Amino acid sequence: MDASLIGLILIISFLIFLFVGMPIFAALGLASVIGILLMQGPRGLGAVPSIIYDRTAGFVIVAVPLFILMGGIIFRTGIGTDLYTFAYRFLNRLPGSLAMATVAACAVFGAMCGLSLAAAATIGSFSIPEMLIEAMTKNYRSGVFALQQPCHSNSPSVPMVLYAVMADESVGKLFMAGIIPGIILSMMMMIYIGVFC
């Protein structure tokens, strides 16, 4: 069977599984099994357990649940609120200080928990009401959170760990390479907010 036809069958089957309400992980797994059956037949399924074990047996992949645990700890203990309060007190004399504090707190939180969406959700839960008090527009508030997503993708994060595992790269080197761009992007966003305000 042609590879492009197999790819089309996989995409269509994946979408069908999603539309009938199957969870994403199950839809991906079932579509993968269909792809293995179409390409290699039933004998190809024998390699699946060893591939799964090889990919998850490394100690590097342990960082993913630990990042998620750290995000949960930060959320439950209120450290996110303290980060935001500290950043706001440090920046309160500058124009747009609430938005700048949001960017700074999200950058630190995102680097600690490795998930940019978790950082935006946690910091947003208490920074958006503060921005409402200051009568900031809806577009401005949502723009503050939307602009910081590229910043978190460059800071130490779960996608970096997953990329390192797949590409057989050093996680430590990737983390070190992501710190400076993350800081620079955060500073550029804060400068933009200051100029805009």
- pLDDT(170) > 90: no
Q: How confident is the model at residue 19, as a pLDDT? A: 93
Are the C-beta atoms of 104 and 130 separated by less than 8 Å? no
Name the band, by pLDDT with cuts 50, 70 and 90, for residue 25. confident
The model's pLDDT over 29-42, given as tens digits with 9 standing for 90+, comes to: 899 889 888 888 88
Residues 105, 96: Cα–Cα separation, whole Å:
14
Residues 150, 87: Cα–Cα separation, whole Å:
20
Q: How confident is the model at residue 138, as a pLDDT? A: 65
Q: How confident is the model at residue 112, as a pLDDT? A: 78
- Tokens in use for 102? 């949001």
What global pTM score does this model have? 0.64
Q: Is 3 helix (H, G, I), strand (E, B) or coil?
A: helix
Name the band, by pLDDT with cuts 50, 70 and 90, for residue 192. confident
